[in-house]
């Protein structure tokens, strides 16, 4: 483990030395926090939710059954929240009745505000852990001529590495004590157009324009990921760099499908940048290699083992 850490630090030193007079963009994902011993995985969130709001936890697992697939608690959180059990939602809607459906803000399934509230408490506990625990730096980060795009809610970069908030952009926003009341957390699951949702409902043999199917479709659509919110943050970061970035360093990010559109935007705005992509194991490497090929940046990408 110690030798592996030295290799990672040595690699970062080389990249920073080679790029000493260039501009760098760091793309940070949850694996970065996990490297520092922060219990920030979605499985950790699942356990936190079960402990702090058991009713919500059980409702989540009923509406999104793939959350606990293969006994791997909530590890596939993002993709699972794009796969609701429509039969379950339909049964709930019928039990509630049409009049109640039409007079409620969110009449079907998981209460979004309750889920956001539990997530806010979880992020708050992680933030306190980061502030009160002495966590050593695991990598070398160049904060002088760089900009940071993080997909994490935590303040790991700011607290542990002293990265200025002026060059640190949280694409999903960052929970803080000052904004606790407004924090809404992640926009859940994959975005699905109304046609996709309607297609799923037709499998149940229902008329999608009837009240109950319509309310279900609206509910599922409201649970979709809002890419425009993240793009707003991303555009601010791009303007900050004036589209002048020589090296893009990806660490701790899965480069998964749910964030693919962000990587497309980054590629399109920094066409000549060199990519340095860190990977965890061979499975992670294979998946990221496919993404890199699909993005058409393979000739400009270096893969580095963590």
Which string of b and e fits 255-290 if b means at least 16 CB within 10 Å? Answer: beebbeebbebbbebbeebbbbbbbeeeebbeebbe
pLDDT at 26: 97
DSSP per-residue letters across 34-59: HHTT---SHHHHHHHHHHH-HHHHHH
pLDDT at 4: 40
pTM (predicted TM-score): 0.83
Are residues 26 and 270 in contact, defined by beta-carbon separation less than 8 angstroms?
no
Tens-digit pLDDT profile for residues 149-202: 999 988 899 999 999 989 999 988 765 655 554 455 555 666 667 777 888 888
pLDDT at 187: 57
Tens-digit pLDDT profile for residues 3-27: 344 444 455 555 555 555 568 999 9
Listing from the earlier edge strand, what are the strands of the sheet with 146-150?
168-170, 146-150, 24-28, 247-251, 274-279, 301-305
Rounded to whole angstroms, the Cα distance separating 53 from 171 reads 27
Rounded to whole angstroms, the Cα distance separating 271 from 137 reads 31
Query: Which pair of tokens denotes residue 31?
Result: 């694996």
Residue ranges of the chain whose pLDDT lies below 70: 1-22, 96-107, 174-192, 224-226
Rounded to whole angstroms, the Cα distance separating 288 from 300 reads 14
Are residues 174 and 154 in contact, defined by beta-carbon separation less than 8 angstroms?
yes
pLDDT at 54: 95
- Please give the DSSP secondary-structure letter assigned to residue 63: H
């Amino acid at each position: 483990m110690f030798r592996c850490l030295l290799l990672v630090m040595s690699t970062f030193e080389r990249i920073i030395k080679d790029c000493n007079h260039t501009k760098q963009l760091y793309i940070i994902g949850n694996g970065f926090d996990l490297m520092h011993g922060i219990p920030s995985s979605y499985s950790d969130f699942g356990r936190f939710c079960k402990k702090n709001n058991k009713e919500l936890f059980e409702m989540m697992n009923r509406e999104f059954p793939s959350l606990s697939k293969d006994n791997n608690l909530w590890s596939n959180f993002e993709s699972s929240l794009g796969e609701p059990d429509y039969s379950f939602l339909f049964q709930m809607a019928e039990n509630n009745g049409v009049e109640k459906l039409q007079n409620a803000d969110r009449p079907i399934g998981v209460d979004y505000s309750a889920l956001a509230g539990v997530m806010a408490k979880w992020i708050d506990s992680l933030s306190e852990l980061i502030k009160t625990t002495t966590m050593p730096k695991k990598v070398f980060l160049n904060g002088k001529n760089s900009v940071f795009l993080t997909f994490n809610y935590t303040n790991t970069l700011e607290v542990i590495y002293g990265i200025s908030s002026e060059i640190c952009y949280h694409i999903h926003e960052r929970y803080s004590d000052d904004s606790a009341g407004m924090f809404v957390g992640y926009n859940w699951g994959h975005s699905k157009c109304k046609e996709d949702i309607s297609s799923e409902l037709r499998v149940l043999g229902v008329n999608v324009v009837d009240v109950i199917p319509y309310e279900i479709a609206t509910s599922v659509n409201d649970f979709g990921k809002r890419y425009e919110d993240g793009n707003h943050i991303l555009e601010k970061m791009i303007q900050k760099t004036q589209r002048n970035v020589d090296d893009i360093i990806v660490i701790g990010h899965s480069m998964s499908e749910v964030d693919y559109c962000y990587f497309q935007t980054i590629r399109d705005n920094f066409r000549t940048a060199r990519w340095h992509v860190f990977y965890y194991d061979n499975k992670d490497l294979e998946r990221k290699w496919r993404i890199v090929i699909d993005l058409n940046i393979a000739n400009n990408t270096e893969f580095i083992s963590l």
